[in-house]
Structure 1
Amino acid sequence: MKRLFQLTGLCAVLCYASCKSTEEKKEEPVKLLVTSAIKMDTTITKEYVCQIRSIRNIEVKAQEKGYLERIYVDEGQFVKKGQLLFKIMPTLYQAELEKADAEAQAAEIEVQNTQALADRNVVSKNELALAIAKAKKAKAELSLAKAHLAFTEIRAPFDGIVDQLHLKLGSLVEEGELLTSLSDNSQMWVYFNVSEPEYLNYQGSMKPKEKGKVQLLMANKEVFKHPGYVETIEAEFNNETGNIAFRASFPNREGLLRHGETGSILMKEQLKDAIIIPQKATMEIMDRKYVYVVDKNNVVKLTPVTIAAEMPDLYVIKEGVKENDKILLEGLRKVKNEEKIAFDYEEPAQVIAHLKLATE
């Protein structure tokens, strides 16, 4: 019995010691990691949705009515300037040309005969003038007939790529009917819209006659290998959107880009004295970003921030925190607003060194 009592007492002592050790561990404050907002010059990359257009893209239409006799090209084919694309059956226009040629020759003979009679004063000068006028009219009709016949052959006005063929061989073609489209893709024009503040920042950062360098992010999320340059800015802002259209030009030597593609323009912007914090120091509540600011008493305050720009792993802050404000870097879900914390401090430069930052 005595031995049982001793064992019971020993268990109680051990249990008490274990509980006391657990309580001591619980009482030890967990240290969280804190850093500061930093002010520095940096470069951000802004992304704008864009539309890609050929430097020249035209509709190829029939200039005469008739049956489509020949198609010399296929869809997607590259053609040279002056190359024959289509031929409309020329029988009718050939006959009109021959008729006009005959009438022009007859009118010329009439002029010669009238001239001989006028030289002998058999006919008046007015009759000679009338014969000459008729000859000129006949020549004009001959030229018109030649033009109509020439229009039965549709040729490429410039080097380019043939688009979809809208008619099949033997189709009856009406005057002005669309046959295909032709794109000159040697150079591409890329259009994108910029807000008024961004436009003012862009103009303020550019030297006179300097062209802004941009890159093109294609639909497959790869950056196009050749840089482009902003060449023109439209004259007026769109009152409905508050934007103005920019046009950048890209060389397309490999022919990768095609008319009608979409993508995004990447344009770099220099920021001076930007307030920067790590993205992981923020949390989102009801579509707003918040940080925990640590005050002089080591109490965390949940503070809303306004994001001015985004970089990989970093935010540029417009409002909410200032330079040297201490912010909670890790453990945001472990604390509550107005709670006092213990922390270890890490310099912002060291924090950023382990993150991605545009330094160009």
Structure 2
Amino acid sequence: MRNRKSALFALCLLPLAALAQDGPPGGMATAVEVFTVAAQPLDNTLGSVGTLIAEDAVVIRPELAGLIAKMHVQDGARVKAGQALFSLESQLLYAEHQEAIANLERSRRGYKRAEELVAKQLLARSEFDQAKADLGVDKARADSAAIRLAKTTIKAPFDGVIGLQQVSLGDYVQPGQALTNLVRLDPMRVDFQVPESALGKLNAGLPVRVRVDAFPERAFAGKVIAIDPQINPATRSVLVRASVGNADNALLPGLFARVELVLAQRANALLVPERALWPIGAQVFVFRVVDGKAQQVQVRVGERLPGQVEIRSGLSAGDVIVTAGQPKLYDGAAVAIAGGDAQPAPTK
């Protein structure tokens, strides 16, 4: 009885074995979807996060006490280096400057007369030295008065954007009091951490792409400008600084940024859909379509992207590979393309 049951079980398995060997019944080709392999640029990137900081940012403060006599710009205005921002009341300092200039002119005339008289030996040498010293003192006083008068006009130290002003017209301000802030928004900088394992690939000039939540569809281009000369022992990483273009002032200091550091660029990488891979144990295969037949090809994978994977070896540009229908395939199986973006490649 046991032998009869075993025989019947073996007979039932024969059609299944035949089906597994020959594919669909009746010699029909297996329907598959395919993809044509093409060479395309690929960046080897490393992701990190950081915070945007301004190229330059200062708080505008007066060096002298006085009344705000004029406010030359509005909140949020773009200004050029040297442009006047605030003017303090300057009448008293102007008068002091004029007095200093008058004293300087008098000292110059006195020194000139003393120089002529001492040449004719009509003036003692000590009196000539005194005239010369008076001239030097009056010149220093005139210079000092001119500097103090100039400081009543507070100017922008660099090109940038004015922040919110913290004083009003007619306010009396003290030296060092905050009036407003000035920020240079183009270019911006971003500091981010890179693992020490990537240190050998780092150098100034590497391209970066920066994305922020405020503009999710945009990638802001930049480049590495500096690498910290020491490793952080707590994080085993190095601090990297990049400069990022911001011509339209879309980026602002303090924004959280996601950074893609491009460590290397390959012009002719082969990217295929991830679903085309057919792993068997530790090895990875794909099915290549040649002359209507499936060829099982072992490949070596490289970089992985969302939904895609780089093929380092095993395929060439122009190869047609299967992306759907692999479970029914074996090496040499007949295939019929039911979808995808290609036709079978010529016989190799």
TM over 0.5: yes
* Shift of residue 225, structure 1, vs aligned partner: 4.2
Alignment partners' CA distance in 2, 1:144 and 1:270:
58
For 1:93-112, list aligned pairs within 5 A.
Answer: 93-112=93-112
CA distance in 2, matches of 1:220, 1:108: 65
Amino acid paired to 2:224 = V
Distance (Å, rounded) in 2 between the aligned partners of 1:169 and 1:345: 83
Would you say 1:190 and 2:190 are equivalent positions?
yes
Mapped contact 1:64–1:151 kept (Cα < 8 A): yes
Instruction: Note the 1:1-360 alignment, pairs <5 A.
Output: 45-200=45-200, 202-203=201-202, 211-220=205-214, 222-268=216-262, 311-312=305-306
Do the aligned residues in 2 keep the contact of 1:162 with 1:180 (CA within 8 Å)? yes
Measure how far apart 1:268 and its partner are. Answer: 4.4
Amino acid in the other structure paired with 1:48:
S
Q: CA deviation at 1:77?
A: 0.6
Cα distance between partner residues in 2 of 1:89 and 1:70:
8
CA distance in 1, matches of 2:135, 2:66: 30
Residue-by-residue CA offset, 1:282-340 (whole Å, 9 max, x unaligned): xxxxxxxxxxx99xxxxxxxxxxxxxx98536899xxxxxxxxxxxxxxxxxxxxxxxx
- The code of the aligned residue for 2:254 comes to G
Q: Is the 8 A contact 1:70 1:86 kept in 2?
A: yes
Q: 2:10 — aligned with what?
A: none
Unaligned runs of 5+ in 1: 1-41, 272-277, 280-292, 295-308, 317-343, 348-353, 355-360
Using a 3 Å threshold, how does the CA distance of structure 1 residues 221 and 149 change in structure 2: closer, same or farther? closer
- Report Cα offsets for 1:18-70 as digits up to 9, x if no partner: xxxxxxxxxxxxxxxxxxxxxxxx86654311121232223322122211111
Percent identity of equivalent pairs: 24
Q: Which residue of 2 aligns with 1:29?
A: none
Instruction: Count matched residues.
Output: 255
- Alpha-carbon contact 1:216-1:223 (below 8 Å) kept: no
Q: CA deviation at 1:110?
A: 2.6
For 1:262 and 1:157, how far apart are their aligned partners in 2? 27
Contact 2:211–2:219, Cα closer than 8 Å, also in 1? no
Distance in structure 2 (CA, Å) of the matches to 1:56 and 1:124: 58
CA contact (8 A) 1:44 1:310 kept: no
Relative to structure 1, the CA distance from residue 123 to residue 249 in structure 2 (aligned partners, 3 Å threshold; closer, same or farther) is same
Q: Which amino acid in structure 1 is aligned with residue 228 of structure 2?
A: E
**Aligned residue identity for 1:175:** P
Letter matched to residue 251 of structure 2? L
One-letter identity of the residue aligned with 1:253: A
Unmatched tracts of structure 2, length 5 or more:
1-41, 266-273, 276-280, 283-302, 311-326, 331-339, 341-348
> Hey, what's the Cα distance between the residues in 1 that align with 2:234 and 2:102?
63
Deviations 1:241-264 (A, max 9, x none): 322111112222222122332211
Q: How far, CA to CA, are the matches of 2:233 and 2:114 in structure 1?
A: 71
Between the aligned partners of 2:199 and 2:328, the Cα distance in structure 1 is: 40
CA distance in 1, matches of 2:197, 2:105: 71
**Distance in structure 2 (CA, Å) of the matches to 1:66 and 1:143:** 20
- 2:126 and 2:250 map into 1 onto residues whose CA distance is 68
Q: SS state of the match for residue 105, structure 1?
A: helix
- Alignment match, 1:283: none
**1:44–1:114 Cα change, 3 Å:** closer
Letter in 2 for 1:243: S
CA contact (8 A) 2:228 2:238 kept: yes
- Take 1:86 and 1:43, find their aligned partners in 2: how far apart are those partners? 49
**Cα pair 2:70 2:87 within 8 Å, conserved:** yes
When the two chains are superposed, the root-mean-square deviation of aligned CA atoms in Å is 4.0
* Contact 2:68-2:172 within 8 A present in 1 as well: yes
Q: Relative to total residues, which structure has the larger strand share, 1 or 2? A: 2
Structure 2 distance, partners of 1:250, 1:346, is 50
